[in-house]
Structure 1
Amino acid sequence: MRALPLTLTALALLATDAVRADRIEDPARIQSVAIAAVAAQMPASARVSGGVLDPRLRLPACTETPLADPPTLRGAQTSVTVRCTRPPWTVYVPVRISDLRLVVVLAQAVAPGERLDPARLRLEMRDVAALPFGYVASLEEAAGLQARRALPSGAVLTPGDARPPQLVKRGQTVTLIGRGAGIEVRAEGTALAAGARGERVRVRNSASKRIIEGVVSADGVVEIAL
């Protein structure tokens, strides 16, 4: 007869534990909210995974779906703020981003000012989420550019590493071409700044000594509108 009260007591304790468990927020749900917030800002090629939360974390269960603040994406790792309004709590969830893509890599070292011919370039698979200074995605985009600085073999080419070749150099004697109303006028001048194709530079006319501004159109050629 004493077994019955013991059984009822055990059931009561189990029920109490179940209620308590229900009142604890599932860490997996917190992680999924953080991952979804990051994934929404990433391309389809990216893989997003949540970091491990502190195992001691025991937050009261959110009566609604927790919400994530818009994450700031900087590099391969970030932290997402996940909030609950009822009951109020905030937790910061570490998130890891991986995005493997083909990028342009230097097959040979280059010196400052050298042009990047195709023989010096190759494509390699890299995690672009871990490239804070960006990358160049195609050989066609990189070929013919001029190195801004010394670049070692194996380095990922970034947009800041190279520029279009300088067709006009500072102090160089250039040909000024003025076009307008069906006429063309040519003159000689001295470039006051360096410039690539399509860039605007100031030039001093050798005859009139006037300083005018034009657009670099070819090697040693600056065009002006009349």
Structure 2
Amino acid sequence: MMAMPISCSAFRRTALILALVAGGVPAFAQESTNQSANQSATQIASNQPTGEVVLIPNRVIYPGERIELAALKQVTLIPGKHKPDAMATRIEELQGKIAKRTLLPGRYIPSSAIREAWLVEQGAAVQVFFIAGGLTISATAVTLQPGAAGDFIKVRNSDSGKILSGTVMADGTIQVSAS
């Protein structure tokens, strides 16, 4: 019996399927299926001392969506594999942050793909303070940009229409300085 030649596209398709099946999780991880989802990373690490424990998405996380624990899963990296630099894989780095772009399941989360949650939204009315020594001047302004605590943003004074730049404070106010 003579073997039939395999077409190039069928060969590629078969190779692709084999690569996808064999290379399952790009994060080179083994799921901790026998571990409960609420177990801490240190508990899992003590049970499996050979691999590093990291967090990756278990579903698609869309841009602008807050990252919650329910959207993440703990995996143990295959022994000898280490997470790449500039990847967020710990709870402190991810909990409550906002996705800047689509995060896919089973993939590492680049630090550049997440941001702090906005403390003030664009177009929101805020209190603006200028403090110099014992002098404090306050005014109402409208934000021209969203910002998290510590961000330097622009606001428009509601009374004068002047555009000011200031720092978002932890309480949602804006502190401006003399320029």
User: Shorter-chain TM-score: which interval?
Assistant: 0.5 to 0.7
Aligned to 1:125: 76
Q: Deviations over 1:182-210 (max 9, x none)?
A: 34332111222222211101111111222
Q: 1:173 to 1:166 in 2, by over 3 A?
A: same
Q: 1:153 to 1:222 in 2, by over 3 A?
A: same
For residues 150 and 110 of structure 2, the distance between their equivalents in structure 1, rounded to whole angstroms, comes to 21
- Counterpart of 1:180 (choices 132, 136, 143) is 132
- Counterpart of 1:107 (choices 54, 58, 62) is 58
- Counterpart of 1:165 (choices 117, 121, 133) is 117
For residues 132 and 158 of structure 2, the distance between their equivalents in structure 1, rounded to whole angstroms, comes to 21
For residues 57 and 88 of structure 2, the distance between their equivalents in structure 1, rounded to whole angstroms, comes to 11
How far does residue 150 in structure 1 lie from its aligned partner after superposition? 2.2
How far does residue 171 in structure 1 lie from its aligned partner after superposition? 2.8
For the pair shown, which has the larger CA radius of gyration, 1 or 2?
1
Q: 1:121 to 1:185 in 2, by over 3 A?
A: farther
Aligned to 1:142: 94
- Counterpart of 1:204 (choices 137, 156, 159) is 156
TM, length-normalised to structure 1: 0.48
The alignment partner of 1:203 has SS state of: strand
- Counterpart of 2:146 (choices 194, 207, 216) is 194
For residues 106 and 173 of structure 2, the distance between their equivalents in structure 1, rounded to whole angstroms, comes to 36
For residues 70 and 112 of structure 2, the distance between their equivalents in structure 1, rounded to whole angstroms, comes to 20
TM, length-normalised to structure 2: 0.59
The one-letter code of the counterpart of 2:63 is: P
How far does residue 145 in structure 1 lie from its aligned partner after superposition? 0.7
The alignment partner of 1:186 has SS state of: strand
For residues 213 and 128 of structure 1, the distance between their equivalents in structure 2, rounded to whole angstroms, comes to 42
The alignment partner of 1:140 has SS state of: helix
The alignment partner of 2:175 has SS state of: strand
For residues 175 and 203 of structure 1, the distance between their equivalents in structure 2, rounded to whole angstroms, comes to 10
Q: CA RMSD in A?
A: 2.6
Q: Percent identity?
A: 29
How far does residue 148 in structure 1 lie from its aligned partner after superposition? 0.6
The higher-RCO structure (CA 8 Å, 6+ apart) is 2
How far does residue 104 in structure 1 lie from its aligned partner after superposition? 2.4
Q: 1:185 to 1:118 in 2, by over 3 A?
A: farther
CA contact (8 A) 1:178 1:186 kept: yes
The number of residues matched between the two structures is: 126
Greater strand fraction, Structure 1 or Structure 2: 1
For residues 71 and 137 of structure 2, the distance between their equivalents in structure 1, rounded to whole angstroms, comes to 41
How far does residue 217 in structure 1 lie from its aligned partner after superposition? 1.4
For residues 180 and 123 of structure 1, the distance between their equivalents in structure 2, rounded to whole angstroms, comes to 49
